[in-house]
Amino acid sequence: MDSIFEENKKNLLDRINAMRQTGDKVSNSDNVENTTQSAAEICIYGIKSTFIDILIDTMKKQFNMEFFDNAEEAFGFCIDNKVKIVLLDMDPPTDWKISTDVFTTIKTAKPGMHFILMTKSPHTTPVETLAALSADILIKPFGIDVLFKNLKNKLLS
């Protein structure tokens, strides 16, 4: 599975480089599910869990957002749409390595993208590394008011 993921990631990075060279918009290929243009400003990436389910239910009342549990779909959606913020779950059942790949791939294509890492363990190497690359950290459990304030501030900036 890792080799398929790496191949898809390489193909997507090749598309991003082609887009930068030509100035064209990236078009979806067979390796990334075709999504329609969306007005969603927030993308959530993680594996379905009680935490993610509650987060989605709470946020969908206040924000225009999309959830993905597939990294390739998240890449394509964030690159092809006007997403401003990506929320990344860094804790199991989500694999932190794949969350890191989501961050790296999207940040390469859209350097100005805002990222918020949601984790119980803020002092792990992966979380600290992404924070050093401009990601914000929300330590679980966090109040929904803290999340909403953070999101609204980033959407207005």
Q: Is the pLDDT reported for residue 89 higher than 90?
A: yes
- For 20-68, what is each residue's pLDDT tens digit? 665 544 433 333 343 345 678 999 999 999 999 999 999 998 999 999 9
Helix, strand or coil for residue 116?
strand
CA distance 44 to 64: 11
pLDDT of residue 28: 39
* E strand or H helix at 17: helix 2-22
Of how many residues is the chain composed? Answer: 157
Mean pLDDT, residues 86-90:
98
pLDDT of residue 39: 77
Cis, peptide link before residue 141, omega less than 30° from 0 = yes
Domains of the chain as residue ranges with CATH: 40-156 (3.40.50.2300)
Its pTM stands at 0.77
**Token pair 């075709």 in the structure block, residue:** 34
Mean pLDDT, residues 67-80:
95
Mean pLDDT, residues 2-25:
62
Q: What letter would DSSP give residue 23?
A: -
Mean pLDDT, residues 4-30:
58
